[in-house]
Structure 1
Amino acid sequence: MIAMRVDVKVGSERVGIDRVVFVELLENSVVNRRVPYLRALETSEIHYSDLVDLARKAEVPHPLFFAPSAVVHAQVRAKGDKLLQGIVPETFTVNSRTTVKLRDVELIIKDLLRKQAFAKRHDPTLGKNRIVGLLRRPRPTVRDDADALLAALGLDREAIREVRNKETVLELIIERLEANQVLVSRSVRGFMPQLIEVRFSGMTLRDAKVPYIFLSGGDHGDFQEPAGRQIFTLLLMAVLVARGIFAPVSFDASSTAPDAGREYDIVGEILMSADELQGLVLHDLEDVKAAANLFKVTPSAVAVRALRLGKLSAETVLGYLAELETEFRDRPKPKPRQPKPVNAIRKYSGRWLTSRMLRAVDEGRLSEREFCRVVCLNRIRPFEIAELKAVLQ
């Protein structure tokens, strides 16, 4: 029989706390897989020092463990309501069965919400965002939606084609999003408030002035190069912002997309318009790869888009996807390198937010110490701000 309480050991003394309270405060947090928590559930006891450490990591005031269950429940509900101001719990999925639980990304959500509030407090020039809700009401055709978003962002298909490589295209799209106050955060392992232990593509966070797109790293199980995949994923989340959809995003880019929705097709029309793709010769996989280089996407994205447009058969596309998967698995895997702190900050916090808040520091509206705390998560100290400025040039 499961004990109804957890004994907290303080020296030779023991203080009992309600097991329901203990679970409610920690189960949906980032410490729910840590050994002291799991051991406490198994043995119904925990050292006070371990409880304090778990509470600190979960950002739970440790006196709350000793409060009545009704008080704890009210606090947890208030915390959830605060988090959900910027994101809804349901995962927006495209060809994927993955779901994201709040605890999987809770600290990242809290940090990005904090950064949104910080930007609005210290940048008085911000106006209402023109991208949020731009596509809330669908236009007559997918092409019309795609053209409207491109025009609003100041992008065009030719500009994307002319860029030298996919990495530079990704940076171009980020620059145009941030120029329109849609902030972009990219995951950097070791420089975020928590490790991501679930495979997902990212998330969109609501705000009327500075919505955030968080673009997750990792391969999500896909067999394609990171830049090409991230270009499509980033634009998919830009479409979600324009549609007024704010949620975790799980996108399986290697699927044949049988149930893909309008958002998926808008991105396809932006990067691989139906007119252009129909005019290409796609006799074999090498033709598909050449088209991928032209459109700055992955070969699998071209194959699936061609399938949806009726240019390739399902049998042919499944064969191409199998070949691409084999090629990807057999190629040498690059060793991950730890970025310099200033480069990691620029990538995770985003160039726009970092630059705007540095301006606030220069103009005396923000202290260097507060900048380092909120924007840099104390990964650099005030004397290193000059180096951060240099990488933003």
Structure 2
Amino acid sequence: MSEAADSIDARRIHVTSPAASPATLNVVIGTESITIQRAAFTTLLDNSVAGTYVDYGKALASGGIKFPALLRLARIGEIPYPLFFAGLPFVEAQVASKTKKLLAGVSKETFSIGSRAPVELRDVELILKDLIRKQELLKRHDRTLEKNRIVGLLRVEGVSVQDDASRLMSAIGLTHEAMRACGTKERALDLMIERLESKQVLVSRSVQHYMPQRLNHVDFSGMTIRDAKVPYIFLAGGDHGDHQEPVGRTIFTLALMAVLVARRIFSPVTWNAESAATDLGREYDIAGAMLMPKSSLRRYGPFSIDEVLTASSEFKVTPSAVVVRALRLGFISSEVARTHLAEFRQAFLERPKRSGMSPIRAENAIRKYAGRELSRRMIDVLDSGAITSNEFYRTVCLNKLRDGQLDDLRRAVR
């Protein structure tokens, strides 16, 4: 919240013992209580990650909350706690100011493709704020940064979808031959990230326990974050409940988000990888053309299950992505597409469950979440003496790295 919020003097809050009404809540302080406006309470918490916590729901159901619980919600939501005792107009002004600043880097509207799932700002707010903070720190100290040539590259539509796809591939230095030459989808994803970051498009990936916010309950593919020099792409990862192999899905998501940056669209993103809808949009088709050019995909007709699986391996995408792309190009019928998608969905559900993953090393988790390029550049800034090690650990590493581990991070990002 703004500095004005901090000017409220908590020492002037007088404790009384009134009864709560439908328009108020009781805050219990010791053996006494004070009423606050219910609308102010909900406005503050509905616009923060703290609105997802149990204490919030309990307070609304019971009509009251103990002061320590209120302080805990305020801390989680990064809300100056005296704001809960302010009038609704003041609270609304503070929330509007905070939202305006936050959304300077991203639109509040969700960019959805084949999905009706909205993304609430509070679901991604702490990650968004953290990545914007990283952007600002890098721009403040790295004088080698140039104006980004990917942002807005496709703002004016080309003569065709394939033309736009080729322009973007050329601009980031990525070729179809290089993608196909990758031995695995994991390597292909690394190559795409490497090429984007070489053009100052930063890429952050979800890493549990190394981000400022949990994403367990969010149906969310990722987001693009505005900047003229170092736009960020955040990839949520996972299969998102649409029965897709995660790495292949992430590759298509990254291609789609690169298109959004080039189209100057900065927004939370959700998309349904199983959707065979006819209105998926130009951005989806450009991403499809980047990864599965029409002339190359045509060779796999008539697109039996085995042919689709072979194409999926060659193009480093999911089998479902091949099916939807073939459908949109008119290579297969809607009936064949539905049958194939149902079969791939069932195969995904019946796949052997993976055993527990090995714990990720701290330096690899930081490289993955902060992004290799940002981490590498900020190490250079640290070495130049422009920032302190404490600031580096706090902003780049979220204090997940100790002094003795800095050399591990150096090796991980070089």
TM-score range relative to shorter protein: over 0.9
Q: Which amino acid aligns with 1:270?
A: M
Q: 2:316 aligns with which of 296, 305, 314?
A: 296
SS of aligned partner of 2:242: coil
Q: 2:400 aligns with which of 376, 379, 387?
A: 379
Q: 1:140 aligns with which of 135, 159, 162?
A: 159
Residue matched to 1:38 = 57
1:345-383: CA deviation from partner (whole Å, max 9, x where unpaired): 111100001111011111111111101101111111233
TM-score with structure 2 length normalisation?
Answer: 0.92
Residue 61 of structure 1: how far off its partner (Å): 0.7
2:107 is equivalent to residue 69 of structure 1? no
* Bigger mean CA offset, 364-373 vs 41-50: 41-50
Residue matched to 1:96 = 115
Aligned partners of 2:295 and 2:21: how far apart in 1?
64
| Residues 94, 257 of structure 1: 8 Å contact kept | no
1:92-132: CA deviation from partner (whole Å, max 9, x where unpaired): 11111111111111111111111111110121111111000
Residue matched to 1:388 = 409
SS of aligned partner of 2:270: strand
Aligned partners of 2:397 and 2:277: how far apart in 1?
39
Cα distance change of structure 1 residues 149 and 3 upon mapping to structure 2, 3 Å threshold:
same
Aligned partners of 1:301 and 1:36: how far apart in 2?
42
Residue matched to 1:216 = 236
Q: Which amino acid aligns with 1:242?
A: A
1:24-51: CA deviation from partner (whole Å, max 9, x where unpaired): 1112211213222111112222111111
Aligned partners of 2:247 and 2:56: how far apart in 1?
38
Aligned partners of 1:228 and 1:92: how far apart in 2?
20
Q: 1:364 aligns with which of 385, 392, 405?
A: 385
SS of aligned partner of 1:217: coil
Residue matched to 2:307 = 287
Counterparts of 1:319-358 in structure 2, within 5 Å, are 319-334=339-354, 335-358=356-379
Q: 1:160 aligns with which of 158, 179, 183?
A: 179
1:313-353: CA deviation from partner (whole Å, max 9, x where unpaired): 11111111111111110111223443122111111100001
SS of aligned partner of 1:105: helix
2:250 is equivalent to residue 230 of structure 1? yes
1:113-154: CA deviation from partner (whole Å, max 9, x where unpaired): 111111101211111110000000001111111111011101
Aligned partners of 2:21 and 2:181: how far apart in 1?
65
2:307 is equivalent to residue 254 of structure 1? no
| Residues 83, 110 of structure 1: 8 Å contact kept | yes
Residue 86 of structure 1: how far off its partner (Å): 0.8
Residue 222 of structure 1: how far off its partner (Å): 2.0
SS of aligned partner of 2:51: coil
Aligned partners of 2:92 and 2:330: how far apart in 1?
53
Q: Which amino acid aligns with 2:394?
A: R
* Bigger mean CA offset, 65-74 vs 257-266: 65-74
1:44-92: CA deviation from partner (whole Å, max 9, x where unpaired): 2211111111100000011111223222111110000011101111111
Percent identity over the alignment?
52
Residue matched to 2:263 = 243
Residue 274 of structure 1: how far off its partner (Å): 0.9
Q: Give runs of ≥4 in structure 1 deviating > 3 Å.
A: none
2:200 is equivalent to residue 181 of structure 1? yes
Q: Gaps (5+ residues) in structure 2?
A: 1-19
1:182-202: CA deviation from partner (whole Å, max 9, x where unpaired): 110100112111111211211
Residue 390 of structure 1: how far off its partner (Å): 2.0
Aligned partners of 2:337 and 2:86: how far apart in 1?
59
| Residues 95, 258 of structure 1: 8 Å contact kept | no
Aligned partners of 2:243 and 2:37: how far apart in 1?
47
Aligned partners of 1:225 and 1:40: how far apart in 2?
41
* Bigger mean CA offset, 302-311 vs 28-37: 28-37
2:225 is equivalent to residue 205 of structure 1? yes
Aligned partners of 1:292 and 1:257: how far apart in 2?
20
Counterparts of 1:113-132 in structure 2, within 5 Å, are 113-132=132-151
TM-score with structure 1 length normalisation?
Answer: 0.97
SS of aligned partner of 1:191: coil
| Residues 188, 347 of structure 1: 8 Å contact kept | yes
Aligned partners of 2:408 and 2:313: how far apart in 1?
35
Q: Which amino acid aligns with 1:347?
A: K
Aligned partners of 1:283 and 1:239: how far apart in 2?
27
2:40 is equivalent to residue 21 of structure 1? yes
Aligned partners of 2:51 and 2:187: how far apart in 1?
39
1:166-215: CA deviation from partner (whole Å, max 9, x where unpaired): 11000000001111111101001121111112112111011111111010
SS of aligned partner of 1:49: helix
* Bigger mean CA offset, 335-344 vs 167-176: 335-344
Q: Which amino acid aligns with 2:170?
A: A
